[in-house]
Amino acid sequence: MTTHLLHLPLIPPPSPSPWRRHHHTSAATTTITPPRTGWVQLQSQLGKAVIGSTRRSIRCMANPRRVKMVAKQIQRELSDMLLTDKVLQFAVLPEASLGADRYLSSLTTITDVQVSADLQVVKVYVSVFGDERGKEVAIAGLKSNAKYVRSELGKRIKLRLTPEVRFMEDESFERGSRVIAILDKIKNEKGSEGQTKEQLDSSAQEDDDDSWGGEDPDEGIIYVE
């Protein structure tokens, strides 16, 4: 169990993309370095030179499988909280909280949860769908309610120590979407003639109340964020 700490990256890896999720190795990818004294003590155990003081003992490092289970459970609970908890919803979406029958202007999703190996720190990656202002409002609202989230999490999950919750913005969804949009645009530009002819032929033959005749011929309109 102690060997996996050697593989700790000293530089935090870039923000994870759930696209690559199933390629994660099973070793705990902590992005938080453990307390310095613990790290040093580990090195001393392995026969290297002792650098600093050894007054603090190592906290319990959990089984990597358990770390993953806790991460999954935290993700479930946090997503559920985003859906049901009034305080969080108001923090994320200040406007349409009570009135408007859940017509949303932005949608917040928790895409990834990373737990440190000692289950003390939790990094929550949040992706917001919507415009710039909605994104800022959502992330700011979540960050300002981090303590409340931590206390709610403690009530829902029975852990010895409730981890500290940190919210970060996950941009991988947007980046991926942008890239795919550009790729689609290139693909459409290459083979666009045959496609649009086909769709224009199937325009409405019946009388409809609508004024639009058929499919928009310019398929290149991509709403790129």
Partner 1 sequence: MAKPIPKIGSRKNARSGSRKHLRKIPKGIIHVQASFNNTIVTVTDVRGRVISWSSAGTCGFKGTRRGTPFAAQTAAGNAIRTVADQGMQRAEVMIKGPGLGRDAALRAIRRSGILLNFIRDVTPMPHNGCRSPKKRRV
Binding site for partner 1 (CB under 8 A): 18-19, 21-22, 66, 69-70, 73, 76, 79-80, 82-84, 101-105, 107, 109-111, 127, 129, 156-159, 173-174, 177, 180-181, 184, 199, 202-204, 206-210, 212, 214-216, 219, 221-223
**Minimum CB distance to partner 1, residue 99 (Å):** 13
Residue 130 Ramachandran class (φ > 0 left, ψ -120 to 50 alpha, else beta): left
User: Between β-strands 164-169 and 107-115, what pairing exists: parallel, antiparallel or unpaired?
Assistant: unpaired
In 3D, which of 84, 67, 83 has the Cα closest to residue 31? 67
- Least distance from partner 1 to the Cβ atom of residue 82, Å: 7
Phi, psi for residue 181 in degrees, rounded to 5: -65, -40
Shortest reach from residue 39's CB to partner 1, in Å: 26
Q: How far is the CB of 111 from partner 1 (least distance, A)?
A: 6
Q: Which residue in the block uniquely carries the two structure tokens 């996996």?
A: 4
Is 36 or 66 the residue whose CB approaches partner 1 more closely?
Answer: 66
**Distance of alpha carbon 82 from alpha carbon 195, whole angstroms:** 42
Min CB(97)–partner 1 separation in Å: 12
* 3-state SS record for 23-52: HCCCCCCCCCCCCHHHHHHHHHHCCCCCCC
Q: Which is nearer to partner 1, 43 or 109 (CB)?
A: 109
**Whole-angstrom Cα Rg for the chain:** 24
